[in-house]
Amino acid sequence: MLYGAILRSPLAHARIVSVDASAASAHPAVVAAFTGADLAERGMAWMPTLFGDVQSVLATDKVRFQGQEVAFVVATDRYAARDALELISVDYEPLPPLMDASTALDPGAPVVREELPGGNHIFDWAAGDKAATDAAFAAADVVVTCDMTYPRSHPAPLETCGAIADYDAVSGRLTLWSTSQAPHAHRMLYAALTGLPEHKIRIVSPDLGGGFGAKVPVYPGYVCAIAASLATGRPVKWVEDRSESLMSTAFARDYHMHGEIAATADGQILGLRARVLADHGAFNAVAQPSKFPAGFFHIFTGSYQARAAYCEVTGVFTNKAPGGVAYSCSFRITEAVYLVERLTDMLARQLRMDPADLRMRNLLRPEQFPYTGPTGWQYDSGDYPRALQLALDMAGYDELRREQASRRERGQYMGIGLSFFTEGVGAGPRGHMDIMGLGMADGADLRVHPTGKVVLAISVQTQGQGHETTFAQLVAQELGLSPDDVEVVHGDTDRTPFGLGTYGSRSTPVSGAAAVVAARKVRERARLVAAAMLEADPDDLEWQEGKWRVKGDPETALGFVEIARAAHSSLELPDGIEGHLDASAVYNPPNLTFPFGAYICVTDVDPGTGEVKVRRFIAVDDCGVRINPMIVEGQVHRGLADGIGIALMQVIAFDETGNCLSGSFMDYLLPTSLECPSPELGATVTPSPHHPVGAKGIGESATVGSPPAVVNSVVDALAPFGVTHADMPLTPANVWLAIQSVTGVEGVPRVT
């Protein structure tokens, strides 16, 4: 095994004059060293991103962000590989960096991507009806506006990214063990990049140490490991360290939003408008369906009935790490929910209405589903008032408000923050959603052994979401088996059917559905075998209590184990089945699923220090039918912790010269057991009408829904000071500044 290490740029923006790796190559433990020029000879210096752009693997012309990959060394020892990096000499010609997205399109701004016709400009994109929205605003009694930033954050899975590439020249096969949430999509990209035929590439992405979106993109380190293994014929291992991870792998958010909400004097929401500047960093390496450059942001009317809505999003390049969609965000619904939930709270303040009353008044009603929103989304099902009422009841909302009033009289600042969110997850209908031209359908293969034991191979893989349990339950339920009888195989492209991977809360809505459809095919095949066993007509059989039997005759019931044995036996089988029960399915979802929830966060804020303590977090989630409630709750627990982290402490910050200020866990703060309260969870169940078992995605709900609840709570606590908004992260310093800056200034200085 050889060990690789990456030399990274210390500068955010510089022209590369020369790279000399000869001294590193001469190091006794070094087997090979690669520069951008070396990879260019192999056609691998640049790679496609998952969104139609290209990204530098090892820099050939310029470096475009601090931490960008410049050279790669492989050595016989991991420490020696790092030593050898010191021997590489790079001559940089510094260029002025572009760190403020708001200046990216100014004349004279430093140009990050001069090789592209648009320079720093990536896209302009709009959704909704502008004229109808303008009319709604013209008719409004009240308009509230706010500029808000959803700061750049990083998913920071505890396991960083890494890979072992092993090219076998004899068989011509490349095996890549890698941290990938989308191994099949990655395989196609590697085939295009290396010229190896796709069937000679195997990606193994086992149970990962967390992902949260960070492991959806392809990273230069993976490609370097592949290039080095191709060149040396030996296995090459590369694992990034924490600083490399925080500085160079996919960030999230960095949305600079101007939002407006229009309403009548009695609190009826009429319209929403948003203008967004999206900072995508140096390469457009987002991983979202290709027709949606701003993801699903245009679901930004949220859970409310607005007559009209219109949003415009502009994407720009800056000298920051590439990416832009990672971190449990449901393709930008996180930003959309934050926008509408902040605006709703500000509207309530303006109208002197209770934010719970305002929400209850405007929530979509159960009879409106399926509901088509003003920007075209069709929500599948929902009972929103029931979820909000349950959350209010669990919180003891009225009592909390009384306590807040009484504390305020004593000079104590307690906040109660609400958020109601609707997500759209389970991408997606392949006619509308693809990544790199690959439609977002997913496969499932079911193999049934003669003893009735079942192996389910799925195209998604797990980073801790418990696919092995949930998917086994889905199949077991359909076939009358115990989950212990079902082995779930995932994360190996040689052993699993094609699919787009695990992100965007899509495993249960898409791949879970595929597993159920495959299991139902197996069950129908079992019906034919059972009919032969009973010498009955298949149409005369019924499936009852996990067994096939002649209608109304329990004495004839045949269980799956008996039928599976018979399917492999010498029994004469009828037309339609040659033998065995195996079946496959590809599931193309007819729509997204739309989970929703009502969250309430109670905080105590110390105005002297700016410290925020989260006292309680009440979360009512409706993700349709819960296949495994314990796993669902575990997903919600995580997302609530994310909300506390994102709202109160996490930010990938830069100084004006482009230095990343958040390159370790000492600077990029994550919530610990002391900041996360014991959450109070509630559930309502509104099945999805189009999913085979009525389930919806849940993996990202709490990460999407919880940050606005925290911010609304803190702003609510600071209401006596006149604070109406403060940008995340609400660190003690930023809270203190918000209090200090209320006279004449809204919000706190932005963190770029």
Measured from the CB atom, is 79 or 733 closer to another protein?
79
Residues numbered 45 to 104 that lie near another protein (CB under 8 A) are 78-79
Question: Which one of the spans 64-72, 268-276, 666-674, 689-697 is the region binding another protein (CB under 8 A)?
Answer: 666-674
Minimum distance of another protein from residue 279's CB (angstroms): 24
Measured from the CB atom, is 82 or 408 closer to another protein?
82
Minimum distance of another protein from residue 395's CB (angstroms): 18
Question: Which one of the spans 17-25, 238-246, 446-454, 710-718 is the region binding another protein (CB under 8 A)?
Answer: 238-246
Q: What is the 3-state secondary structure (H, E, C) of 670-739?
A: CCCCCCCCCCEEEECCCCCCCCCCCECCCCCHHHHHHHHHHHHHHHHHCHHHCCCCCCCCCCHHHHHHHH
Minimum distance of another protein from residue 406's CB (angstroms): 26
Query: Can residue 258 be called a binding residue for another protein (CB under 8 A)?
Result: no
Question: Which one of the spans 314-322, 385-393, 434-442, 662-670 is the region binding another protein (CB under 8 A)?
Answer: 662-670
Q: How far apart are CA 581 and CA 566, in angstroms?
A: 10
CA atoms within 13 A on the CB side of 700: 33
Measured from the CB atom, is 350 or 628 closer to another protein?
628
Query: Can residue 209 be called a binding residue for another protein (CB under 8 A)?
Result: yes
Minimum distance of another protein from residue 635's CB (angstroms): 8
Query: Can residue 161 be called a binding residue for another protein (CB under 8 A)?
Result: no
Select the residue interacting with another protein from 463, 502, 508, 731 (CB under 8 A). Answer: 463
DSSP characters over 228-257: HHHHHSS-EEEE--HHHHHHHS-BB--EEE
Select the residue interacting with another protein from 484, 545, 666, 743 (CB under 8 A). Answer: 666
- Could you tell me what percentage of the chain is helix, strand and coil, using 3-state DSSP and rounding each to the nearest 5? 30, 25, 45
Minimum distance of another protein from residue 472's CB (angstroms): 15
Query: Can residue 141 be called a binding residue for another protein (CB under 8 A)?
Result: no
CA angle, corner 351, sides to 345 and 357, nearest 5?
60
Question: Which one of the spans 153-161, 453-461, 721-729, 732-740 is the region binding another protein (CB under 8 A)?
Answer: 153-161
Q: How far apart are CA 557 and CA 283, in angstroms?
A: 61
Q: C-alpha 559: how far from its chain's center?
A: 40
CA atoms within 13 A on the CB side of 572: 2
Query: Can residue 630 be called a binding residue for another protein (CB under 8 A)?
Result: yes
CA angle, corner 138, sides to 135 and 143, nearest 5?
120
Query: Can residue 664 be called a binding residue for another protein (CB under 8 A)?
Result: yes
Query: Can residue 640 be called a binding residue for another protein (CB under 8 A)?
Result: yes
Site of tokens 């931490």: 67
Select the residue interacting with another protein from 87, 208, 285, 620 (CB under 8 A). Answer: 208
Query: Can residue 611 be called a binding residue for another protein (CB under 8 A)?
Result: no
Among 570, 566, 484, CA closest to 527: 566
- φ, ψ of residue 91 to 5 degrees: the values are -100, 110
With contact defined as beta carbons under 8 Å apart, do 14 and 658 qualify?
A: no
Q: Which tokens in the block code for residue 573?
A: 């089988």
Q: How far apart are CA 547 and CA 486, in angstroms?
A: 17
With contact defined as beta carbons under 8 Å apart, do 8 and 244 qualify?
A: yes
With contact defined as beta carbons under 8 Å apart, do 738 and 750 qualify?
A: no
With contact defined as beta carbons under 8 Å apart, do 489 and 446 qualify?
A: no
Select the residue interacting with another protein from 105, 191, 670, 737 (CB under 8 A). Answer: 670
Minimum distance of another protein from residue 212's CB (angstroms): 7
Binding mask 375-414 for another protein (x = CB under 8 A): ----------------------------------------
Minimum distance of another protein from residue 157's CB (angstroms): 6
Select the residue interacting with another protein from 220, 426, 464, 610 (CB under 8 A). Answer: 464
Please name the amino acid found at residue 699: G
Select the residue interacting with another protein from 631, 649, 698, 748 (CB under 8 A). Answer: 631
Query: Can residue 349 be called a binding residue for another protein (CB under 8 A)?
Result: no
Among 2, 7, 177, CA closest to 78: 2
With contact defined as beta carbons under 8 Å apart, do 29 and 5 qualify?
A: no
Q: How far apart are CA 384 and CA 2, in angstroms?
A: 56
Minimum distance of another protein from residue 201's CB (angstroms): 26
Query: Can residue 465 be called a binding residue for another protein (CB under 8 A)?
Result: yes
Beta strands in 562-636 (DSSP E): 583-587, 596-605, 612-622
Residues numbered 675 to 694 that lie near another protein (CB under 8 A) are 676, 678-679
Query: Can residue 484 be called a binding residue for another protein (CB under 8 A)?
Result: no
121 CB contacts (<8 Å, ≥6 apart)? 104, 105, 314, 315, 316, 317
Measured from the CB atom, is 166 or 260 closer to another protein?
166
Minimum distance of another protein from residue 613's CB (angstroms): 13
Q: How far apart are CA 656 and CA 100, in angstroms?
A: 8
Q: Largest Cα–Cα distance in the chain? A: 87
CA atoms within 13 A on the CB side of 731: 15
Question: Which one of the spans 223-231, 287-295, 583-591, 635-643 is the region binding another protein (CB under 8 A)?
Answer: 635-643
558 CB contacts (<8 Å, ≥6 apart)? 530, 533, 534, 547, 548, 549
Size of the site for another protein (CB under 8 A): 39
Among 246, 253, 310, 309, CA closest to 277: 253
Measured from the CB atom, is 428 or 504 closer to another protein?
504
3-class state of residue 303 by DSSP: coil
Select the residue interacting with another protein from 147, 241, 354, 524 (CB under 8 A). Answer: 241
Query: Can residue 570 be called a binding residue for another protein (CB under 8 A)?
Result: no
Residues numbered 275 to 334 that lie near another protein (CB under 8 A) are none
Measured from the CB atom, is 205 or 724 closer to another protein?
205
Select the residue interacting with another protein from 10, 48, 119, 210 (CB under 8 A). Answer: 210
Minimum distance of another protein from residue 525's CB (angstroms): 35
Question: Which one of the spans 35-43, 562-570, 632-640, 690-698 is the region binding another protein (CB under 8 A)?
Answer: 632-640
Question: Which one of the spans 175-183, 236-244, 330-338, 728-736 is the region binding another protein (CB under 8 A)?
Answer: 236-244
Minimum distance of another protein from residue 199's CB (angstroms): 30
Measured from the CB atom, is 226 or 641 closer to another protein?
641
Measured from the CB atom, is 664 or 740 closer to another protein?
664
Q: Is the peptide bond before 554 cis (omega within 30 degrees of 0)?
A: no
Q: How far apart are CA 599 and CA 677, in angstroms?
A: 14
With contact defined as beta carbons under 8 Å apart, do 511 and 518 qualify?
A: no
Measured from the CB atom, is 240 or 312 closer to another protein?
240
With contact defined as beta carbons under 8 Å apart, do 496 and 458 qualify?
A: yes
Measured from the CB atom, is 49 or 334 closer to another protein?
334
Select the residue interacting with another protein from 10, 429, 450, 634 (CB under 8 A). Answer: 634
Contacts with another protein, residue ranges (CB under 8 A): 78-79, 156-160, 207-212, 241-243, 463-466, 630-631, 633-634, 637-641, 664-666, 670, 672-674, 676, 678-679
